[in-house]
Amino acid sequence: MTEKNQQILLARRPAGAVEEGNFRLVEAEVPQPAEGQFLVRNLFLSLDPYMRGRMSEAKSYAKPAEVGQVMVGGAVGEVVASRHPKFKPGDKVEGPFGWQLYALSDGKGVRKIEERGIPLSAYLGVLGMPGVTAYIGLLDIGQPKAGETLVVSAASGAVGGVVGQIAKIQGCRAVGIAGGADKCRFAVEELGYDACVDYKAGRLDEDLPRAVPGGVDVYFDNVGGEITDSVLLRMNAFSRIPLCGLISEYGRPEPRGLKNVRSLLVNRIKLQGFIVSDHLQRWPAALADLARWVAEGKIKYRETVAEGLRNAPTAFIGMLSGKNLGKQVVKLS
């Protein structure tokens, strides 16, 4: 093999907002699999908000990424060489292969993709970690009942877009919060939300109540901060908040937090932080339902595709400030 591997390393930890200088592109030899390993050529790289947390040293649910090492991340690719009994060249796989063109794997955390006409990149989104996150967070933690009102922040994103559509399948009123008129139009016209509020219009405290005249029964939170404080004032008694992400906090040197904590008490709200990897036993059922809903046209999805590994940092920084519509991926070949 004469081709070189390319890798994006974590060059230094961000002090606040992520910058291009936090990353470094390097070339390396394409490695050869040892006994029990296989070599993957990555086709699509996933970019997800959780990666921002891994770039910092603060205690989190996963160990931080190491400075000088390849950035962590999921990818789909094709096995090109194997000394692993369960994977053979030509297999399509999804796994934690990192920000690079070629990766070695021992099969841990890797799933084989049965191709059935769905584009491979979807296994990083609606049929991957973000889709399962939406499914478990909404159904297991949010426990929506038909007729209830769901609100989801980052409503047109990789997770949020699936949350709203599952809520509709459950018979809920689904209301999104997103940044910009385009995202809101997409949420209502393409994803089927009943309403979507553009928080960038600067009138969330007036616009949200009109979109949820009966209050909020489930708030699927991806963002935290001011948006969540506004939603807290509309929560109904015995409502639920699956806490999935805090993207509004990630770039801040000091946390902003929440002001309207009183609503949690007064309305007897159950708020639960969750991480999809804690719920591995639920993945098969979630993926089966999601695949069926996609095949039936009940769940639609959109991707924002960056081209080439060297553009991953720019795409990642853009995603953290909400430039993507739907799932952000990087096409590698």
Positions that interact with a second copy (CB under 8 A): 53, 59-61, 224, 229, 237, 243-246, 249, 254-262, 264-275, 278
Q: How far is the CB of 252 from a second copy (least distance, A)?
A: 10
Contact 36, 101 (CB under 8 A): no
132: helix, strand or coil: helix
Give 272 or 311: the residue with its C-beta nearer to a second copy: 272
| Euclidean distance between CA atoms 173 and 195, whole angstroms | 9
Give 15 or 61: the residue with its C-beta nearer to a second copy: 61
Nearest to 54 by CA among 71, 34, 41: 71
Contact 177, 155 (CB under 8 A): yes
Q: How far is the CB of 235 from a second copy (least distance, A)?
A: 10
Give 113 or 246: the residue with its C-beta nearer to a second copy: 246
| Euclidean distance between CA atoms 116 and 37, whole angstroms | 26
Q: How far is the CB of 16 from a second copy (least distance, A)?
A: 15
Structure tokens at 126: 């609606």
| Euclidean distance between CA atoms 271 and 269, whole angstroms | 6
Q: How far is the CB of 310 from a second copy (least distance, A)?
A: 31
Give 53 or 176: the residue with its C-beta nearer to a second copy: 53
CB atoms near residue 111 (< 10 Å): 15
Give 274 or 283: the residue with its C-beta nearer to a second copy: 274
| Tokens 């990630």 found at | 250
Encoded amino acid at 175, one letter: V
Q: How far is the CB of 300 from a second copy (least distance, A)?
A: 28
Cα distances (angstroms) measured from residue 111 to each of 90, 128, 202, 213, 283? 14, 10, 43, 43, 11
Give 25 or 264: the residue with its C-beta nearer to a second copy: 264
CB atoms near residue 273 (< 10 Å): 14
Q: How far is the CB of 59 from a second copy (least distance, A)?
A: 7
